[in-house]
Chains A and B, each alone.
Chain A
């Protein structure tokens, strides 16, 4: 086993040209598909969370507006944060299993086959 200054020991197939895999169209597609989903989604949920925090912080009057009985805008938006978190989780799992996992599995099989 080589004791280089960097990297994990073991597991790596010496036969794999990682640079080549990384440059392949197939891997490029996987990376694009992942980033196209997770980056905008992260911006979206952080912005939505920030809107909520800023409203609670600087517009308490608006948040205290009653809707039904004692149920007010603040509770509604707060509960919508729960709903959006659950929905984004569900959307990601669906997207990943349809658009990411099949490509990842294919490349992985090629890479692991290579090394043996």
Chain B
């Protein structure tokens, strides 16, 4: 198969033009947004001046990554109902953020997750640990997005061959670093808002179009997918669970593990947490989660229709054979519905999605390094000037951009969904237990936090390295070797409870008590007294 041709009927020139227009418009907005970026608060938290709804839209822009849009639609098209289970985990997870994390985090921190932990514990060790988990989670997520970019290139732009793909990955990396360097959090947020609007409007249009083809009968659409898959028992399997995960006892357990990691991972994702600092108050943080839940929920309903629509109108066989395999379901559906113009639009939206998510991850990782490691661990809170920390953040963003480009090139043949699920598992294991203990448990202390974070992180990564995802099967990362002894692809079922347990154990084994500081933290967390204010320009 000639990959250079991309998809039949696709017009690479058109795709590139639409994408270039998006980049040009967003860069202008990023320049405009950056006029007032002066202090650390401006750079990391956009001066805390975004409104709840704006931030909610930006959160959905940050959260609906290539994995959500391309991955879920493709999984539903090929595996039917099992793909839908992802969306439900990704959505329900937001309740953890809404009820337990968002407002309390906004009230007790400044820029990073490390701020919240450092409130009542020994600053340097917990900040160092928080920065390490933040960097690792962000890096996995970043690699997944960059890999997705490489895969999409074949399909949408007709760029083929290693050199061509590498160049496109490098271009994506450079643009995203530009966004972050110039615009800081404000520029990044606007990119995410624009992207979210385009993505949701595009998905809505396609959803209505698909439903229209079946006389707005969802049941009729399902029938179309069943018929296209060959009808009978084989086709009917698309409608119920089990097509992908129901094969054996282990695969069922694996699915349970994935489900747990998804629902507990969101509230531990550093780039999600950092967004809560971009609004003036905890009440605005609450409002932003409400908007995010609404938009993300609606979007996942669209992907249900788009997935079955791609199954019915394009066909699972065609999708599996296309360059990019399941990731190509949504773009192929766009081509089927609206020809090259709609494909061009959806292609540009998919690239915009990757750009915006990658920019969000980069600013989070660079903020964590500059604020937690440089300013508070290395300089012990005595940074020479206000701008020094931001300068370090900008340099870090450059380094992360370079790492993302190189990593994206090296990892371009890896499975995108695997890397994203990994990021969720690490976030749920290393970050969430510590955050919850820190906010709600009076007795919790430094040793507990370190046990939970490092323990959760190490267990999670060790289990992944020795899982069938890395070696031992035909789809593993490492071919031709088998050192797997852990049966599950996703470690969440073991590593998350282990991290909670370690946090408790580390705490009671240490004599340190932080109840005085906890008194201040709890009062401030619940009431918002002395919370960081918005800056006015």
Residues on A close to B: CB < 8 A? 3, 5-9, 11-13, 16, 18-19, 21-22, 27, 30-31, 34, 37-38, 41-42, 45-46, 49-50, 52-54, 56-58, 60-61, 63-64, 68-72, 74-75, 78, 81-82, 85-86, 88-89, 92-93, 96, 101, 104-105, 107-108, 111-112, 115
Q: Verify B100–A38 contact, CB threshold 8 A.
A: yes
| Residue from the list A6, A64, A92 in contact with B98, Cβ < 8 A | A92
Q: Verify B519–A85 contact, CB threshold 8 A.
A: no
Q: Could you tell me the distance between the alpha carbons of A63 and B223 in the complex, rounded to whole angstroms?
A: 17
| Residue from the list B241, B290, B294 in contact with A57, Cβ < 8 A | B241
Known: A6-B121, A8-B119, A88-B95. A57 touches B252 (CB 8 A): yes
Chain B residue at smallest Cβ distance from A3: B381
12 contacts between A and B (CB under 8 A): A6-B121, A6-B123, A8-B110, A22-B522, A27-B523, A27-B526, A30-B527, A49-B92, A50-B259, A57-B255, A88-B99, A89-B289
Known: A11-B532, A12-B520, A82-B297. A6 touches B263 (CB 8 A): no
Q: Could you tell me the distance between the alpha carbons of A70 and B348 in the complex, rounded to whole angstroms?
A: 34
Chain B residue at smallest Cβ distance from A104: B527
Q: Could you tell me the distance between the alpha carbons of A89 and B294 in the complex, rounded to whole angstroms?
A: 9
Q: A19 to chain B: closest CB distance in Å?
A: 5
Q: Which residues of B contact A78 (CB under 8 A)?
A: 81, 84-85, 88
Interface residues on B, range: 35 or more
Q: Which residues of A contact B110 (CB under 8 A)?
A: 8
Q: A10 to chain B: closest CB distance in Å?
A: 9
B506-537 at interface with A (beta carbon < 8 Å): 514, 516-517, 519-520, 522-523, 526-532
Chain A residue at smallest Cβ distance from B224: A70
B247-267 at interface with A (beta carbon < 8 Å): 252, 255-256, 259, 263
Chain B residue at smallest Cβ distance from A22: B519
Chain A residue at smallest Cβ distance from B121: A6
| Residue from the list B81, B119, B121 in contact with A74, Cβ < 8 A | B81
Q: Verify B95–A89 contact, CB threshold 8 A.
A: yes
Chain B residue at smallest Cβ distance from A72: B239
Q: Which residues of A contact B100 (CB under 8 A)?
A: 38, 42
For the complex, would chain A's binding face be called helix, strand, loop or mixed by DSSP majority?
helix
Q: Could you tell me the distance between the alpha carbons of A69 and B224 in the complex, rounded to whole angstroms?
A: 12
Q: Could you tell me the distance between the alpha carbons of A7 and B519 in the complex, rounded to whole angstroms?
A: 12
Q: Could you tell me the distance between the alpha carbons of A24 and B380 in the complex, rounded to whole angstroms?
A: 35
Q: A104 to chain B: closest CB distance in Å?
A: 5
Q: Verify B123–A5 contact, CB threshold 8 A.
A: yes
For the complex, would chain B's binding face be called helix, strand, loop or mixed by DSSP majority?
helix
Q: Verify B527–A107 contact, CB threshold 8 A.
A: yes
Interface centre among B98, B108, B226, by most A CB within 10 Å? B98
B185-237 at interface with A (beta carbon < 8 Å): 217-220, 222-223, 226, 236
Q: Which residues of A contact B240 (CB under 8 A)?
A: 60-61, 63-64, 72, 74
Chain A residue at smallest Cβ distance from B528: A108
Instruction: Answer whether residue B293 sits at the interface, using C-beta atoms and an 8 A cutoff.
Output: yes
Q: B215 to chain A: closest CB distance in Å?
A: 12
Instruction: Answer whether residue B22 sits at the interface, using C-beta atoms and an 8 A cutoff.
Output: no
| Residue from the list B123, B223, B301, B516 in contact with A70, Cβ < 8 A | B223
Q: Verify A85–B293 contact, CB threshold 8 A.
A: yes
Q: Which residues of B contact A54 (CB under 8 A)?
A: 256
Instruction: Answer whether residue B382 sits at the interface, using C-beta atoms and an 8 A cutoff.
Output: yes
Q: Which residues of A contact B289 (CB under 8 A)?
A: 89
Known: A18-B520, A111-B527. A101 touches B283 (CB 8 A): yes
Besides A6-B122, A8-B110, A11-B531, 16 other A-B contacts (C-beta < 8 A): A7-B517, A19-B519, A22-B523, A34-B526, A53-B85, A56-B81, A56-B242, A57-B256, A58-B252, A69-B220, A72-B239, A74-B239, A74-B241, A75-B239, A93-B286, A111-B530
Q: Verify B119–A7 contact, CB threshold 8 A.
A: yes
Instruction: Answer whether residue B94 sits at the interface, using C-beta atoms and an 8 A cutoff.
Output: yes
Q: Verify B223–A21 contact, CB threshold 8 A.
A: no
Q: Which residues of A contact B532 (CB under 8 A)?
A: 11
Q: Could you tell me the distance between the alpha carbons of A38 and B95 in the complex, rounded to whole angstroms?
A: 10
Q: Could you tell me the distance between the alpha carbons of A60 and B85 in the complex, rounded to whole angstroms?
A: 13
Instruction: Answer whether residue B246 sits at the interface, using C-beta atoms and an 8 A cutoff.
Output: yes
Interface centre among A52, A56, A71, by most B CB within 10 Å? A56
Q: Could you tell me the distance between the alpha carbons of A52 and B91 in the complex, rounded to whole angstroms?
A: 14
Chain B residue at smallest Cβ distance from A21: B523
Q: Which residues of B contact A104 (CB under 8 A)?
A: 526-528
Q: Could you tell me the distance between the alpha carbons of A52 and B86 in the complex, rounded to whole angstroms?
A: 12
Chain A residue at smallest Cβ distance from B223: A70
Q: Verify B530–A85 contact, CB threshold 8 A.
A: no
Q: Verify B286–A96 contact, CB threshold 8 A.
A: yes
Q: Could you tell me the distance between the alpha carbons of A72 and B80 in the complex, rounded to whole angstroms?
A: 13
Q: B508 to chain A: closest CB distance in Å?
A: 20
Chain A residue at smallest Cβ distance from B282: A104
Known: A22-B519, A58-B252, A88-B95. A6 touches B120 (CB 8 A): yes
